[in-house]
């Protein structure tokens, strides 16, 4: 009787092994689900980037405003009748000097 119980336990363990640890088992399916969630997040970011690029391409094909804007910002181009001004930021304002120490009557060296 004891030998039969051990045989049944071994049989159940042999049947459970593929479910938990085998190829396509529960642990592997759980890992695949985690990878799917991560890949969907990456895909969503790439989809937003592609939509932005698509909108930019449509804008460049449809009018000259986008082309002119790019030429101005990236290439520094100006029209013939325009005057280019480049403003430089001045040095940072100097803080007021601390008040002078009272004179002691001795000459400084």
pTM: 0.47
Is 33 contained in some domain?
A: yes
Is 103 contained in some domain?
A: no
Roughly what angle, to the nearest 10 degrees, separates helices 2-20 and 26-62? 10
Is 50 contained in some domain?
A: yes
Is 84 contained in some domain?
A: no
Is 6 contained in some domain?
A: no
Is 3 contained in some domain?
A: no
Q: Where are the alpha helices (DSSP H) in the chain?
A: 2-20, 26-62, 64-75
What's the confidence (pLDDT) of residue 53? 95
Number of domains forming the structure of the chain: 1
Given the structure tokens 């930021």, which residue do they identify?
A: 89
* pLDDT per position as a tens digit, 66-94: 888 888 888 888 888 888 777 888 887 77
Is 52 contained in some domain?
A: yes
pLDDT, averaged in runs of 10, over the chain (109 residues): 88 80 79 96 97 90 82 83 82 69 60
d(CA 10, CA 4): 10
Is 14 contained in some domain?
A: no
Domain of 69 in residue numbering reads as 29-77
């Amino acid at each position: 009787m004891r030998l039969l119980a051990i045989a049944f336990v071994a049989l159940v363990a042999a049947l459970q092994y593929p479910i938990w640890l085998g190829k396509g088992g529960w642990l592997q399916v759980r890992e695949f689900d985690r990878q799917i969630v991560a890949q969907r997040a990456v895909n969503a970011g790439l989809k937003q980037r592609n939509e932005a690029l698509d909108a930019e391409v449509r804008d460049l094909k449809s009018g000259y405003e986008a082309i002119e804007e790019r030429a101005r910002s990236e290439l520094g181009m100006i029209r013939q009748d325009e005057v280019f001004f480049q403003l430089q930021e001045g040095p940072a304002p100097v803080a007021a000097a601390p008040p002078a120490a009272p004179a002691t009557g001795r000459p400084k060296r």
